[in-house]
């Protein structure tokens, strides 16, 4: 994943934790938690993006990953961007849904 995307994800996760009301927890806990959320978000984006691929694009992606199982996240991100119409808008939808679900879950935790 390009550096600016990594920075954006880190900023997005920090904002999500703040919206959920968890930013005041102990710093070492929050930092560890941010890493887990970043991983969860990256997986959600990857799965969601893969489901948006056409059959032809899915075949190309599979071939690319078989040839080089260590394909960089940046190259995969570019592949998605090149093969999914309005990819940036679809990523924004995924981010919004992720944050919404997380904040709702946090509210339930605080109420219990």
> Global pTM?
0.79
Cα(77)–Cα(100) distance, rounded to whole angstroms? 23
| pLDDT, position 30 | 87
Q: Where residue 44 falls among pLDDT bands split at 50, 70, 90?
A: very high
Res 85 pLDDT > 70? yes
């Amino acid at each position: 994943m390009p550096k600016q995307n990594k920075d954006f994800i880190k900023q997005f996760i920090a904002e999500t934790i703040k919206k959920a009301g968890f930013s005041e927890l102990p710093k070492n806990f929050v930092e560890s938690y941010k890493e887990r959320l970043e991983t969860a978000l990256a997986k959600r984006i990857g799965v969601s993006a893969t489901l948006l691929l056409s059959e032809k694009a899915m075949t190309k992606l599979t071939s690319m990953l078989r040839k080089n199982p260590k394909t960089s996240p940046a190259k995969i991100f570019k592949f998605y961007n090149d093969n999914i119409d309005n990819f940036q808008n679809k990523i924004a939808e995924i981010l919004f849904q992720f944050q919404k679900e997380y904040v709702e879950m946090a509210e339930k935790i605080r109420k219990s």
